[in-house]
Each structure stands twice: as structure tokens, then as C-alpha cells.
Amino acid sequence: MNKQNEKTVQKREANELPSALEDISNLLKGKKPAVFLDYDGCLTPIVKDPDKAFLAPEMRETLQQLARVSFVAVVSGRDRANVENFVQLDNLYFAGSHGFDISGPNNMHTEPGGAKEALPALEKADKELKDKLQDVEGAWVERKRYAIAVHYRNVADDDLVEKVKKVTAEVLQKHPELKEGLGKKIIELKPNLDWHKGRAVLWLMDELKLNQPEIVPLYIGDDITDEDAFASLQGQGVGILVGEHDDRTAASYHLKDVEEVKKFLESLTHHLKNE
């Protein structure tokens, strides 16, 4: 059995975590970081329309500066091409669809995790969901390459929210090739495989030979889907939760919001430049 499955994951409430801003030297423990970040809610605030989650020029510059002195990867539930288009930096790595689709500098592009087998089921489920939810005002079924996101943030009526959840559960039950993933006001249908953001991070660490004693992986994220990465890195890296979600967290540090993420990344860059 994989060691990640064997270990006991420690979880705490978000308000119990120390601030990642307070002592970067202690957080790094004399090592160089490999930085992994979620996009929505971490690099840019969550907005009602995901197509308008634009990256602020100041945050783009902050990422650019950090990538000059450290490995940086954006790990998102969004399609890889979509998040690449928002970030617009060619010296970063991108893991889209929760890590099923990965790209990076020097024309790197790979799709680990075996998700291609689930494409026919995703196609059918996408059509079923769009048909059954088309009359629910505010509901939005977003097809990604390796996932379907059912958004209900803009569904105002509680009864209709329950309808969205019920319909999604029924469609999911029809397709054993798929499994449920939960986020903030989102239900996702993903390939029913043992692959997630945490496994994507570990895959990148191995593939790019970042598993070195002098390197510490840092993962910064805000959502329930980021908990897989926090758990995977416990004992060998640092998880940093942005804001809070509806559950206890496997992260070891905390940042309040996107603005604090920017300050942390700037401080991290300054620390690395002055070592």
C-alpha cells in the first residue's frame, strides 16, 4: 500500500493555524521551496462568473518574480488551457482538471492518471445534466476535459439547490466510471480514479526531481479539493489554507485572503533573493 494511504492525516480547525506570514524562515527550515498554488480563491478572489476570475496584473508580476527564484506550479480544478490563459506566464507549470492534465516549460505536456477512459461517461453525463437542469435558474453545468462542474452559487431558491444536488446525484449513480467531488457551491463529476491534486503534486515532485533534502514543497489553496494536497504533503511539506471552508483542514499554516497570499509570495521572493 502507498505510504500516503498508510499515514494518519492530522486535521485542525482553520482558526487554530498559525499565520504563514509571521515567520517564513521557520516555515522553510533552511530549505528552498517548490511552490504549488490553487487558482480560484487563492490567486484571485472567487467571483459569481468563473469566466471573469481575471488575474490582477500585480499578482501576475508577483508570480513572475517568484518563478525566477523558485519552482512554481498552479494546480486547479479548471481546464489546464483555461487557467493557463488566465495566468499568462510561460515559466510556470500548470496542472488542470485536478491534475489529470499537466503542462510546463520546454513544451512539457502529459496527462497522467489514466482519465481518458472516463471521457465517454463524461460526455453522456454532461448531456444528461444540461438537459435536466436547463430550467433551473442560476444553475450552470460546466464541461471540462476531465470533469463536469455543476455550479449552484447563483441558484437563489433553497428548494432548487436541493433539486440540483438530487439531479446530480442521480446522474452520477448512472455512471460508475465517475465519482463526486465537492467544492465551494460546486459539485463535480470526476473520473473514478485514485488521482487528485495531491497525487499530481507528488507526480510533479518525482518527475522534475524535486524530491531533494534541500527542497520543501509548499501548497497554498482554499478549497476542499486542496485538502488532498495538504494531506499528501503532511510530514514532507507545508500546507497553507487560504480563508476557510466547511471542514477541518490538513494544512499547517493559514492566510486570510488573496491579498495575504500576495504578501506571502512577495515575502518569499524577498527571502530567497537575500539568502
d(CA 7, CA 230): 13
Q: Which helix (H) or strand (E) holds 183?
A: strand 178-183
d(CA 84, CA 102): 11
| Beta carbons within 8 Å of 62's beta carbon, 6+ residues apart | 262, 265, 266, 269
Q: With beta carbons less than 8 A apart as the criterion, state whether 152 and 164 touch.
A: yes
d(CA 206, CA 184): 30
Separation in Å, CA 76 to CA 6, 82, 126, 229: 26, 10, 20, 11
d(CA 24, CA 200): 25
β pairing state of 71-75 and 32-37: parallel
Residue among 38, 126, 226, 228 flagged as catalytic: 38
3-state secondary structure 144-179: CCCCEEEECCCCCCHHHHHHHHHHHHHHHHHCCCEE
Q: With beta carbons less than 8 A apart as the criterion, state whether 68 and 81 touch.
A: no
**φ and ψ at residue 168, rounded to 5 degrees:** -60, -40
| 49 is an active site residue | no
Catalytic center residues: 38
